């Protein structure tokens, strides 16, 4: 049985769900899920949790994400990316200077409200927005609070502006690129998008679908353990008796300097038990690993 996290380097042109299906077929697993969908034209880090690791998806969802973005100036897209109908701006595309571009990028750093695009996987009344958009239907969307932690200029050539961005969960890069165009008084759309990092997971930890096919007999080549997934949490070791109580849904007493926080628990054999919450020196179970 496989339990853990795989960071797939998703190729351009296939959906996240299609990627998931391929991973499940390659590894012959039934229980697996995606944490943070990428658009079909986007590439890069696609976390796929397998087996018992699916219980800990939400802890990855909350991590900040980093992207490399190629923004095409002077054109707009009906979908915000290369998949849509592309229209050229009738206005003259001026030769932007680097300082102007950097200053406009810097203006996005911080907390702000963002309206999700119609071409997104958000559901309204049980229907995904992109399905409505394909029918030519546009509905009102509520704005969401997002945070841009950093945004760094990389290059500008042939009307392509490249930058690196670190942002919070729920940020839509296509919308940010269009908003950037508004600031620059020019059409703009996302030409290329690559996710390079999620939380403390780095780009060099990713594996392609092709390499995954050649590594199925050696889990160490691609599988990130559940304990490593949760390594941002404080680790507490509990006794065999306390593990039994936790697994029966009871709270246990544990004298610790960590309070009012989620913690990961292991037993005396250093096996991960799961995630608990400690308050007033009592740990209550939240998500537990079950290998039976």
Contacts of 257 (CB under 8 A, 6+ apart): none
Q: State pTM to two decimals.
A: 0.91
Whole-number pLDDT of residue 92: 76
Q: Which three-class secondary structure state does DSSP give residue 144?
A: strand
Domains 4-62+200-225 and 65-198 share a fold: yes
Using an 8 Å Cβ cutoff, are 6 and 223 in contact? yes
DSSP 8-state symbol, 263? E
Whole-number pLDDT of residue 126: 75
Q: Is residue 39 annotated as part of the catalytic site, yes or no?
A: yes
Whole-number pLDDT of residue 219: 66
CATH superfamily of the domain spanning 65-198: Pseudouridine synthase (3.30.2350.10)
163 membership: H or E segment, kind and range: strand 160-167
Per domain, the residue ranges of the chain are 4-62+200-225, 65-198, 233-288
DSSP 8-state symbol, 226? H
10-residue mean pLDDT series, the chain (292 residues): 94 95 94 93 97 95 96 93 90 86 97 82 74 74 91 96 96 94 95 97 95 77 92 96 96 94 95 96 96 68
Instruction: Please state, in angstroms and rounded to a whole number, the distance separating the CA atoms of residues 218 and 204.
Output: 18
| CATH number for region 4-62+200-225 | 3.30.2350.10
Whole-number pLDDT of residue 217: 66
CATH superfamily of the domain spanning 233-288: PUA domain (2.30.130.10)
Task: Find the helix packing angle between 98-106 and 173-184, rounded to 10°.
Answer: 130
Backbone angles phi, psi at 216, to 5 degrees: -65, -20
Q: Which three-class secondary structure state does DSSP give residue 254?
A: coil
Whole-number pLDDT of residue 201: 96
Using an 8 Å Cβ cutoff, are 193 and 183 in contact? no
Q: Quote the radius of gyration of the chain (alpha carbons, Å).
A: 22
Whole-number pLDDT of residue 259: 93
């Amino acid at each position: 049985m496989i339990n853990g996290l795989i960071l797939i380097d998703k190729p351009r042109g296939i959906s996240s769900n299609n990627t998931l299906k391929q991973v499940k077929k390659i590894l012959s697993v039934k229980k697996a899920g995606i944490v943070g969908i990428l658009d079909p034209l986007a590439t890069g880090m696609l976390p796929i949790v397998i087996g018992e690791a699916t219980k800990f998806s939400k802890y990855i969802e909350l991590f900040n994400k980093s992207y490399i973005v190629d923004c095409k100036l002077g054109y707009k897209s009906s979908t915000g990316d290369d998949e849509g109908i592309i229209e050229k701006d009738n206005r003259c595309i001026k030769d932007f200077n680097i300082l102007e571009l950097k200053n406009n990028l810097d203006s996005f750093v911080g907390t702000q409200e963002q309206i999700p695009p119609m071409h997104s996987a958000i559901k309204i009344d049980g229907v995904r927005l992109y399905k409505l958009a394909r029918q030519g239907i546009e509905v009102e969307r509520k704005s969401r609070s997002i945070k841009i932690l950093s945004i760094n200029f990389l290059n500008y050539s042939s009307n392509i502006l490249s930058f690196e961005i670190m942002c919070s969960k729920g940020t839509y890069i296509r919308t940010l690129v269009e908003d950037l165009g508004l600031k620059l008084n020019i059409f703009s759309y996302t030409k290329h998008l690559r996710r390079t990092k999620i939380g403390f997971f780095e780009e060099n930890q990713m594996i392609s679908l092709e390499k995954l096919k050649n590594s199925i007999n050696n889990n160490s080549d691609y599988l990130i353990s559940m304990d490593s997934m949760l390594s941002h949490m404080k680790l507490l070791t509990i006794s065999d008796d306390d593990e039994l109580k936790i697994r029966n849904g009871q709270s246990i007493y544990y004298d610790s300097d960590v309070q009012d926080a989620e913690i990961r628990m292991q037993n005396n054999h250093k096996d991960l038990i799961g995630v608990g919450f400690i308050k007033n020196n009592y740990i209550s179970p939240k998500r537990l690993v079950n290998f039976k």
